[in-house]
Structure formats: C-alpha cells, structure tokens
Amino acid sequence: MLLIPAIDLKDGKCVRLRQGEMNDATTYGEDPAAMARRWVQAGARRLHLVDLNGAVAGKPVNEGAIRAILAEVGDEIPVQLGGGIRDLDTVERYLDDGLSFVIIGTAAVKKPGFLHDACTAFGGHIIVGLDAKDGKVATDGWSKLTGHEVVDLAKKFETYGVESVVYTDIERDGMLTGINIEATVKLAQALSIPVIASGGLSNLVDIENLCAVEHEGIEGVICGRAIYNGTLDFAAAQQRADQWAG
C-alpha cells in the first residue's frame, strides 16, 4: 500500500482545503520544495501535487512551485499532478518537466475525447481523477455535481487506457472523518486497473482498514491534512502498511 503525501499548491504555498473550498485554506508551508524533501526523507515513494489555482483557472498556475519540487525530488521518486490540465500541450510540457503521472479530472468528464487522446499519446502516464459525492461525479474544483455515476465513468475510462483512478469522496476531504472504504472497494472491484483512495484519511486505523482490502485493487492512499495536523505519523504509517504486506 502506497501512502502518498499530498502537496496542495495555492499561490505558490503548501495549503490544505476543507471540502475543496478555496477560501477555507490552511497554510502549512511557504516552500513546496522543502515540503517535498521532508516527505521523501520520511519514506514517501510517490508524491501527489495539486495545482489548486490551476483547477479553478482551467490552466496551470503554480508551475514555478511544481518545477521546484521536481528539481528537488523528481529523480528520486515518481511525482503525480492534477489541477488545470485541459490540453495535450500541457500534458506534454509537464511530462517533459519530469512528472511521472498527470491526473486529468474535470476535463476527463467534460471532454472524454481529450482523455482518450492523452492516453493514446502518453500511455502509462495518465491517471484519471474522479471526485464524487453520493456516488455522483463532481467537476470544476468540486463546484458542479454531474449526473454521472463514478463506477460507470471509471469503467469507460479504463477502456481508454488510463493507468489508475484517484477516487476522492469530497464530503470527507480535509475533514479527517475516515476514508469511505465501502465506496472505494466498490469502485476497485468494478475495475481491473488500480484505485488510489483519497478524502478523509485520519489515522492509523484508516491505513489498516485500507490494507485489509488492498487485494481488491487499492494501490494507495492520498495523505493530506492528517499528516500535516499530526493525527497520522507518515513514516510510522508507511512502515505499518509495509509490515502488513509482508
């Protein structure tokens, strides 16, 4: 089970939001590259970046901070990024900069042809991000709820050749209320590609609950507010997950 620290970028700083609300942000660091180094030193084997401004603007905004992170740790561990990725030129530029995976969210739902083209052009590097509330997919920084069922969309995107799915329960994100294990397992069981859980991670119990269902196809979990607030010791949690697998 991969524990993947999240570095959410807003105005060049590391922040965490509650339920995706841009005006409800807590700043955890002024130096994203230093934060990336901190998590690598704690044993992270992948990093999850989000360009929050980009997600709202529909285009990259925090590229300077992203490049600084890649310069710091990009040749040591894979780095994945979501937020504001709406065209193939942006995908190509980010991959050229050293990103391992690009996460396509809103654009995958609104322009599935773009996701299909990205998978064709950059196979092995495209992850789809599906953010949901009550099983329905949300877009545009979670501000709009669609009528699409998560499982249905994920199965369609799987046929396009996406590498994996990041599944976020937006009602839980940043709330430390626990991962939605049931919905995550339901999605993983419907797919043959891996699922990365996201939203609500709180403590070691959540990690153990995920490890218990890892065999269903759950590859990892995004670690956000819990590792910044200290309700989860990242290094200890990754060690526990490794012991479980062993």
Residue 51 annotated among the catalytic residues of the structure? no
Candidate list 8, 169, 173, 206, residue with the active-site label: 8
Residue 96 annotated among the catalytic residues of the structure? no
- Using an 8 Å Cβ cutoff, are 189 and 231 in contact? no
- Using an 8 Å Cβ cutoff, are 62 and 53 in contact? yes
Q: Angle at CA 83, nearest 5°, toward 79 and 88?
A: 85
Candidate list 51, 131, 169, 173, residue with the active-site label: 131
What single letter denotes the amino acid at residue 152? D
> What 8-state DSSP symbol labels residue 18?
S
Residue 24 to residue 231: CA distance in whole angstroms: 20
Burial group, residue 1, by CB count within 10 angstroms (0-12, 13-18, 19+): buried
Active site residues: 8, 131
